[in-house]
Amino acid sequence: MRTVSTQMPLGAGALFLVTLIWAFSFGIIGTALKGIDPFFIGAVRLVTAGLCFLPFLKLGEISARLRGELMAIGAIQFGVMYVAYLSAYRFIEPWQVALFSVLTPLWVTVIDTALRRSFRIQFFLAALLSVAGAAVMRAKDTPQGDFILGFFLMQLANVAFAGGQIWFREWKFRNPQTSEKGVFALLYLGALILVILTGFVFGSFRSIPEASLKQWAVLIYLGIVASGLGFFLWNFGASRVSSGFLAASNNLVVPFGVLIAIFIDNSDPDWLSLVVGSTLIGGGLWIGRKRTVVR
């Protein structure tokens, strides 16, 4: 077992920035893109994100085996996640999609622990505090739609996203000399292939859905900013912080999402639950702040 030094402030800053970007996504997808096929949304976002990083692609720096591994990581972290996550909007409300994502930190910790075969109570506690904090801030509405199926799809998305970020983190540890920017287009390519194949299996790509100019603008924004910049910065940050901090960071989007909803909708929130929940998530980040990554 060895320790790998991490650039903790840089990594944490990247995770916080992505959180702010993603906090807008739940409501945008559930409202502006309502009725558009989820496979089509995923494909457009991945194509746009991939094109953004295509100019930086440096295939000569890595072997064919490592290229295949990166595409596999992308297929799981972004491909499977998108298929499950975007499909969940068909069965549950946008706030439920956000709510069911609160278990991601636990999946991050479980997968990382299984990979290292080393139980660290510090990181499990960080993840549990993050989940508890997000749960405290849950919406109070009565669940609607196909609740069980929506929950299952979100857990599939959570596991895929958690496993992918841990896998990429390990890949970066094994290839510290390789710049993320020079290979990240391969992750989007792997994810795009999976989304397209899945879309054809379920008959989603028989025709291009009709979308308004506003919806296309939202799709391009999500592709460039939320998917392109967001996923890159998230994996960049994930490889520079401890697994405990990474796990807790997966739920930072909940308090930020609530605050943004308050601002946009001019609503009257439960301030007590917001403060308590944010405090618990902050406690998880503090506990998981370890500045070295143990492999």
Across all residues in the chain, what is the average pLDDT?
Answer: 80
**Can you tell me the mean pLDDT for 260-280?**
66
Question: Does the pLDDT at position 284 exceed 70?
Answer: no
Tell me how far apart the alpha carbons of residues 164 and 83 are, in angstroms, rounded to a whole number: 14
Copy the structure tokens of residue 131: 């989940």
Residue 292: strand pairing partners: 5
Place of tokens 């506690």: 125
Count of alpha carbons within 13 Å of 140, Cβ hemisphere only? Answer: 5
Tell me how far apart the alpha carbons of residues 127 and 108 are, in angstroms, rounded to a whole number: 8
Tell me how far apart the alpha carbons of residues 211 and 209 are, in angstroms, rounded to a whole number: 6
pTM, whole model, 2 decimals?
0.79
SS3 content of the chain, % helix, strand, coil (to 5): 75, 0, 25
Considering only 26-35, 83-92, 222-231, 257-266, which range has the smallest mean pLDDT? 257-266
Q: In terms of Cα–Cα distance, which of 103, 76, 79 is closest to 247? A: 103
The pLDDT confidence band at residue 293, using thresholds 50, 70 and 90, is very low
pLDDT at 76 (0 to 100): 97
Tell me how far apart the alpha carbons of residues 5 and 115 are, in angstroms, rounded to a whole number: 19
Pair 22, 222: CB distance under 8 Å: no
Question: Does the pLDDT at position 4 exceed 50?
Answer: no
Q: What is the DSSP string of 253-282?
A: HHHHHHHHHHHHHT----HHHHHHHHHHHH
Q: In this structure, what DSSP letter does residue 102 have?
A: G
pLDDT at 261 (0 to 100): 58
Pair 244, 290: CB distance under 8 Å: yes
Considering only 40-44, 161-165, 235-239, 285-289, which range has the smallest mean pLDDT? 285-289
**Can you tell me the mean pLDDT for 17-28?**
81
**Can you tell me the mean pLDDT for 85-108?**
77
